[in-house]
């Protein structure tokens, strides 16, 4: 039986979050004649009108290449680009704007650290500690580095709920470990890892920690100084911004010690065939023309999210997740994968006897967008002994009524396969 959604809960949990929904034009889309129910936000969230407008305003009134010319447009574009850096700095509470490097996304940020830090400081016999619930983008760059250097990857295991073993983690830390890489929030399970404690434990051994915050920044207020992480990476397109842009936060002292990842224009102070002198941070890591429009628009996404309040958005999403968990748990033959005590915005599930791709296809017929597959986290799937899951992931514009639509959709899937 499908319980009607609790209107009081909607009202109590997030009094006016609904007003933000109107900001997202794409949510008016009809799919198969039905209103779009967009529950694939962990893959990429949608952009609100003020953020879309910012892109247009930049392109129509401010665009030029940056850091290069003295003319009006170039100076304007440079000022807007650097203003976006300060917005991102404030967003994660970094101490200085030069600690923010613009990248093309989380993957690019992690690769930057693997090359800039890893290739310089990791040698044969060293170890890199990762967790079993990492996205492939926080596994593969380290494997490539380990292969090149003769280093070893050590993996923190998790329990059946999708929670990391702190005991095993502490045992892995030691003098050979050159870096810990861990997700703040698991994209496949929704687990919120105790990153603050994990960072403190690594620091007791003098080990720097990179946090993959791709799934955290839209849902939890992030304070890199409070976490005391050494690196923090995230993507614009998962926080109501555009694709093609993201950021790496790095402690200034570490960024300064690192070697550049890419060579080219803008990352140098002087070049001759005898010797090149690199630019100061963060420019040392931003070779070539960056995605200027995307960076400026990311700044607008930060403004939007800060205006809503990340904690408020997160609390609304937690209400959606709690309600969805309760409803899906009532469905016989549906199993939730990832039942950690502390979760954010992600509900992964499997339906007995139905392949997740069929679940996704049939839900799409109802206008419901979920992600199906291994979510670029194959080790998580291996840990649970499954090939794939269906994943509903929430954003600030989702509603309890959409959760009801999902639950009804899953029932229909079960009827089709009965
Ligand atoms: C936890 C996590 N890390 C990294 C990434 C990669 O992000 P991007 O593809 O934007 O580089 C994702 C994307 O889904 C993710 O969920």
DSSP state of 354: B
State the distance from the centre of ligand 1 to the C-alpha of 237, rounded, in angstroms: 10
Average confidence (pLDDT) over 406-413: 98
What lies within 8 Å, CB to CB, of 384 at 6+ separation is: 337
State the distance from the centre of ligand 1 to the C-alpha of 394, rounded, in angstroms: 16
CB neighbours (10 Å) of residue 239? 27
CA nearest ligand 1 atom 14, residue: 43
Contact 77, 64 (CB under 8 A): yes
Please measure the distance between the N-terminal and C-terminal CA atoms of the chain and give it in whole angstroms. Answer: 17
Q: What is the mean pLDDT of the chain?
A: 95
Q: Could you please report the per-residue DSSP string of 27-57?
A: GG-EETTEE-EE-BTTT-PPPPHHHHHHHHH
CB neighbours (10 Å) of residue 285? 25
Average confidence (pLDDT) over 209-230: 98
Report the nearest atom of ligand 1 relative to the CA of 183.
1
φ and ψ of 61, to 5 deg? -130, -10
pLDDT in tens, 383-394: 999 999 999 999
Report the nearest atom of ligand 1 relative to the CA of 243.
10
What is the distance between the alpha carbons of residues 32 and 26, in angstroms, rounded to a whole number?
A: 15
Q: Which of 43, 153, 376, 386 is catalytic?
A: 376
The best mutation among 112, 183, 186, 187 to test binding of ligand 1, ranked by most ligand atoms within 8 Å of the C-beta, falls on 187
Distances from the Cα of 43 to the Cαs of 35, 148, 213, 215, 350, in angstroms? Answer: 20, 31, 13, 9, 18
CA atoms within 13 A on the CB side of 54: 24
What is the distance between the alpha carbons of residues 188 and 186, in angstroms, rounded to a whole number?
A: 5
Report the nearest atom of ligand 1 relative to the CA of 246.
10
Pocket of ligand 1, beta carbon within 6 A: 43, 105-107, 135, 137-138, 183, 187, 212, 214-215, 235, 246, 376
pLDDT in tens, 10-68: 334 454 677 899 999 999 999 999 999 999 999 999 999 999 999 999 999 999 999 87
What is the distance between the alpha carbons of residues 414 and 4, in angstroms, rounded to a whole number?
A: 20
Q: Is 229 a catalytic residue?
A: no
Tell which residue, 291, 287, 227, has the closest CA to residue 95. Answer: 227
Q: CB-based burial of residue 311 (10 Å sphere; 0-12 exposed, 13-18 middle, 19+ buried)?
A: exposed
Cis peptide before 282 (omega within 30 of 0): yes
* Size of the chain, expressed as the number of residues it contains: 418
pLDDT score of 13: 47
pLDDT in tens, 264-287: 999 999 999 999 999 999 999 999
Tell which residue, 105, 96, 104, has the closest CA to residue 256. Answer: 96
pLDDT score of 24: 98
For residue 378, the SS3 value is: helix
CA nearest ligand 1 atom 13, residue: 43
For residue 321, the SS3 value is: helix
pLDDT in tens, 183-199: 999 999 999 999 999 99
State the distance from the centre of ligand 1 to the C-alpha of 107, rounded, in angstroms: 6
Report the nearest atom of ligand 1 relative to the CA of 137.
4
pLDDT in tens, 60-106: 999 999 987 899 999 999 999 999 999 999 999 999 999 999 999 99
């Amino acid at each position: 039986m499908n319980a009607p959604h609790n209107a009081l809960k909607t009202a109590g949990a997030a009094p006016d979050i609904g007003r933000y929904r109107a900001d997202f034009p794409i949510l008016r889309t009809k799919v198969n004649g039905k209103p779009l129910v967009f529950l694939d936000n962990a893959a990429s969230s949608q952009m609100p009108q003020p953020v879309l407008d910012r892109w247009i305003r930049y392109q129509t009134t401010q665009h030029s290449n940056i850091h290069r010319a003295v003319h009006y447009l170039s100076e304007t574009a440079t000022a807007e680009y650097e203003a976006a850096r300060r917005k991102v700095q404030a967003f994660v509470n970094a101490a200085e704007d030069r600690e923010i490097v613009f990248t093309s996304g989380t993957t690019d940020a992690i690769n930057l650290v693997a090359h800039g830090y890893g290739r310089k400081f990791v040698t044969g016999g060293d170890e890199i500690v990762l967790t079993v619930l990492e996205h492939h983008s926080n596994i593969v760059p380290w494997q490539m580095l380990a292969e090149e250097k003769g280093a070893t990857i050590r993996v923190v295991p998790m329990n059946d709920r999708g929670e990391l073993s702190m005991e095993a983690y502490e045992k892995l830390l030691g003098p050979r470990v050159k870096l810990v890489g861990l997700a703040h929030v698991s994209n496949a399970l929704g687990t919120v890892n105790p990153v603050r404690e994990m960072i403190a434990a690594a620091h007791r051994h003098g080990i720097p920690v990179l946090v993959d915050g791709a799934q955290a920044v839209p849902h939890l207020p992030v304070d890199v100084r409070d976490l005391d992480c050494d690196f923090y990476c995230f993507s614009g397109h998962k926080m109501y911004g555009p694709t093609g842009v993201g950021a790496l936060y790095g402690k200034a002292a570490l960024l300064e010690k690192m070697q550049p990842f890419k060579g080219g224009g803008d990352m140098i102070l002087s070049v001759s065939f005898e010797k090149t002198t690199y630019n100061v941070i963060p420019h040392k890591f931003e070779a070539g023309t960056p995605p200027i429009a995307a960076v400026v628009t990311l700044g607008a996404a930060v403004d939007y999210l800060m205006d809503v309040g990340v904690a408020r958005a997160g609390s609304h999403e937690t209400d959606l997740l709690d309600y969805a968990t309760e409803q899906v748990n009532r469905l016989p033959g549906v199993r939730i994968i990832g039942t950690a005590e502390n979760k954010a915005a992600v509900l992964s599930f499997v339906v007995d006897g139905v392949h997740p791709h069929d679940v996704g296809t049939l839900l799409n017929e109802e206008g419901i967008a979920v992600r199906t597959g291994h979510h670029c986290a194959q080790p998580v799937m291996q840990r649970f002994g499954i090939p794939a899951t269906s994943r509903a992931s929430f954003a600030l514009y989702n509603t309890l009524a959409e959760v009801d639509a999902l639950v009804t959709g899953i029932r229909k899937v079960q009827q089709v396969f009965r």
